[in-house]
Chains A and B, each alone.
Chain A
Amino acid sequence: MPTGADVVAAHHPDDVLGALADAGPRGVIARGLGRCYGDAAQNAGGVVVDDTGATMFRLDPATGICTASAGVSIDRLLQGLVPRGFFVPVTPGTRFVTVGGAIASDIHGKNHHKKGSWCDHVLSMQLAMADGSVRTVTPEGDPDLFWATAGGMGLTGIVLEATFRCPPIASSRVRVDTFRLRDLDETMQVMADTDDRYDYTVAWIDMMATGRNLGRSVLTSGGFAAVDDLPAAEQAHPLAYDAPVLVDVPPVFPSGVINKLTIKAFNELWFRKAPVRREGELQSIPAFFHPLDMLGDWNRVYGPRGFLQWQIVLPFGEEERLRRIVERLAVTGSSSLVNVLKRFGPNNAGMLSFPTAGWTLSVDVPVGRPSLAALLDELDEVTVEGGGRTYLAKDSRVRAELLEVMYPRLDEWRAVRERVDPDRRLRSDLGRRLGLL
C-alpha cells in the first residue's frame, strides 16, 4: 500500500543524524532506490531518509577492498569497478539497489551457492544509531549488532558507509552455458549436478506450464571469461563495460495486456527460443546479471494495479513441497514472467537474513484476482510446514504470526533492537505490519 511520509534528502551523515534526532513518534526509515517490492522502505506518517544523494566510493586496487556511501548503487559501483578489473561481491537481478539496501536486505544473487549473500563480504559498516552516535560495526567487534543489521530491514540503525571485498575479474564477459530442461525433475536434477561447476547459476522457470511440462525451465550458468576466451578483436579491451537502459516502457501501458493468454504465449516463446543446450556463449554483464534493467520502468507492463513478488526458500529434502507449490501456482495461473529457481548455499549468521541452504523460488504475481490472498496464505503455510520462509525484502502481505516460525532467531534480533533503539526511533510500514517494532 502506498502511504504518506515526509522525505528528507540526506547528502551528508549530519542529515541522517539530524533526522534521527528529530524523529517523532512515527519514527524514521532509510530508503534507497525503492527496489524492495513491499513496504520495507516506507514509513507512513513518519520520516523517510532518502540516501541516494550520498554516492561516494573508493576502491583499493591492490586488495579489491571498496568503501562506499550507503546511497551508492551497484550500477555506479560497476561503472567504477569493472574497468579496473573488479566486480561486486553479489548482485541481484537489478543493479539499481544501493549499498545500504544491500545490507538491510542482505541481498543474494546467482552466486549464493558459492559465495553467500552480500553481508558475507562486508568487512565493516558505519551505522548512524538511534541515540545519535555513529558506530563502526564489524563482525568481530559487535557480532550481534552486525548480524542483526545484516538483513535487519533498516531497523537497527541507518547505514552511512560500508567496506566490502570485491572479487577480481579478468574480463567483463561471462561464459554462459544454457540448458533447456523439460520438467521440474530434470531442472532440479541438472541444477544439483552442475551447480558446483559454475560461479553463477539460476533457472528461469515457466510457471504457466502444467502436466508433463510442469516446472520446465531454462538454466543459465556461467563464470567470468578469461581474456583468452574473448574474440581477438575484444582482447585489447577485455574490461570494457557499458550498461545502457534500452527502452522505457511507456507510462500508459494498456491495462490487461498482461493476462493469462499473453503470459502463456510469452513463456512458451521464451522456453522455445532457448537452445536445448549451448556452451561457452559470451554474454555481457547486463545481459547475464541484470535482465530486469533492460527495460526502464518495466513494472509498468503490469498496469496500474501492479504486481507483487513472492519468494521463498525451502530446505533441501523438501522437493515434494516445492513441487506442490509450483503446481498450485501453475494450475491457478497465478504468476507470470519473471520466475526463477535457484539453489542456495549455507546461511550466514544474519538473524533475519533470508538465504539458507535449499531451493529458492521467486515469482511475479499480478495483483487483481480476489482469490490471490487466500492462495498465497495457503502457500505460506506449505512453506512453513517444510521449514522454509519468505523473503522480507519482497514481502508485502505475509501473516505476521508466521514470522517467528520462519525466522526462529527473531527474539535475538528483538533483543539487539531493544539494546540499540529502545525508544523505537527506527520504524517502517513493514515493521508495523509484521509487529517488528
Chain B
Amino acid sequence: MEDALGSVQRALVLGGTSEIALAVLERLARDRCRSAVLAVRDPHAAAPAVERLARAGIDDVTTVAFDAAAPEALPAVIDEIFDAGDDIDLVLVAFGVLGDQADFDADPVAAGRAVTVNYTAAVTSGLATAARLRAQGHGTLCVLSSVAAERPRQTNYVYGSSKAGLDAFAQGLGDALEGSGARVMVVRPGFVHTRMTEGMAAQPFSTTPEVVADAVAKGLGQRRHTVWAPGILRVVFAVMRHLPRPVWRIISAR
C-alpha cells in the first residue's frame, strides 16, 4: 500500500533486468519498498538483479518468465502475478529495444518485431495491468517512454514511433483511470547511459539511471502524470517540438 508521501511497498517490473528499473527499485528501497516481482525474458539470468535488490534491502524478490516478443501470452502472466501475492503498488513498464535504424532499413521484419516489443506488448500488458489496478483500487502504472516519443528523428524513427505510440497509449489510459484509485505516470528520459546505449554517442542532456530513478521517486510522491529526466528536457522539448521541420531535420540528424 502506498503511503501519503507516495512511498510504495511492493513493485512489479515488466522487463525486470532493465538498468533504469533496477535503479528505480534501489531508490524506492530507501523508503518503504521491501518486495518486488521481476518479470524477465529468462528467469535464470536474473540472479544478479535479484542479488542487487537484496543488497538494497528488497529481500522478497520473485522472478517470472515474461516474453515481450509474444504479446498474446502476457495478460495471463500479469494475472498470475497479481493472483499470487499481496497488492502491487507500482508496476514499471521497462522493457523495450532500441535497435539500429540502419539494420531496420535493411530488415523491415526486424523493425516490425521491435515495434511489437516496444508498443504492442506494452499495450497488451498495460491493459491487463490496468484492469488489476482498477480492481485493487490503487496503484501506479509507470510507463518508461522516451523523449524520442516527442518528435521523430531520422536516426531512430522506428524506435521513436514505437515510443510515441506507447506514450499516447499511456496518456489515454491515465485519463481513463482517473477516479479509480489507479493511475498512470509517463516517464520521458533523455539519453541514458546504460547497456542499451553502450557505444553510442551521447546526446545533449544525457543522464544516468540514478537520475531517472530520483525523478520517478519524486514524481510518485507528487502524484505527477508526466516526469521528464532530467527535468530540463521538459523545457528543451517544449521548444524542439515547435521547430520548423527543416531546422529539426538538421538538428536531429546527429
A residues near B (Cβ < 8 Å) are: 1-5, 26, 38-39, 43-46, 305, 308, 367-368, 370, 372-373, 396-397, 399-400, 429, 432-433
Contact = CB atoms under 8 A, between A and B. Distances in A.
Given A397-B5, A429-B1, A433-B1, A45 B221 contact: no
19 contacts: A1-B4, A3-B137, A3-B138, A3-B181, A4-B137, A4-B180, A44-B138, A45-B137, A45-B138, A45-B181, A305-B223, A368-B222, A372-B5, A373-B5, A373-B31, A373-B221, A397-B4, A399-B32, A400-B32
B10 to A, nearest CB: 10
B4 A38 contact: yes
Given A1-B138, A4-B182, A373-B31, A432 B4 contact: no
A210 B216 CA distance: 34
Contacts of B138: 1, 3-4, 44-45, 429
B87 interface: yes
A370 B134 CA distance: 28
A4 B179 contact: yes
Contact of A2 (B9, B134, B181): B181
Contacts of B218: 370
A1 B4 CA distance: 5
B32 A1 contact: no
Interface in B30-83: 31-32
A373 to B, nearest CB: 5
Contact of B1 (A26, A44, A305, A372): A44
Contact of B4 (A44, A367, A399): A367
Interface in B114-170: 134-138
Nearest to B220: A1
B3 interface: yes
B2 interface: yes
A294 to B, nearest CB: 25
A370 B221 CA distance: 8
B184 to A, nearest CB: 14
Interface residues of B, number: 24
Given A4-B137, A26-B137, A308-B4, 4 more contacts: A1-B3, A4-B138, A45-B136, A429-B138
B7 A44 contact: no
Contacts of B32: 399-400
Contacts of A432: 1, 87
B181 A305 contact: no
A1 B5 CA distance: 8
Given A4-B182, A45-B137, A46-B137, A396 B3 contact: yes
B6 interface: yes
Nearest to B2: A1
A308 B1 CA distance: 17
B114 to A, nearest CB: 36
Nearest to B30: A374
Contacts of B2: 1, 433
- Report the 6 A-B pairs with minimum CB-CB distance, sorted nearest first: A4-B181, A44-B137, A45-B137, A396-B4, A433-B1, A3-B181
Given A2-B181, A45-B137, A397 B7 contact: yes
Contacts of A26: 136-137
- Candidate in A4, A5, A399 with the most chain B CB atoms within 10 angstroms: A4
A372 B4 CA distance: 11
B170 to A, nearest CB: 19
A39 B181 CA distance: 13
Contact of A4 (B3, B6, B9, B134): B134
A5 B7 contact: no
B36 to A, nearest CB: 17
Nearest to A399: B32
Contacts of B87: 44, 432
A5 B137 CA distance: 6
A368 B4 CA distance: 11
A3 B4 CA distance: 11
A5 B181 contact: yes
B8 to A, nearest CB: 10
Contacts of A397: 3-5, 7
Contacts of A433: 1-3, 9
A232 B221 CA distance: 57
A44 B9 contact: no
A400 B138 CA distance: 19
Contacts of B182: 4
Interface in B83-117: 87
Contacts of B9: 400, 433
A125 to B, nearest CB: 28
B23 to A, nearest CB: 17
A145 B62 CA distance: 38
B35 to A, nearest CB: 12
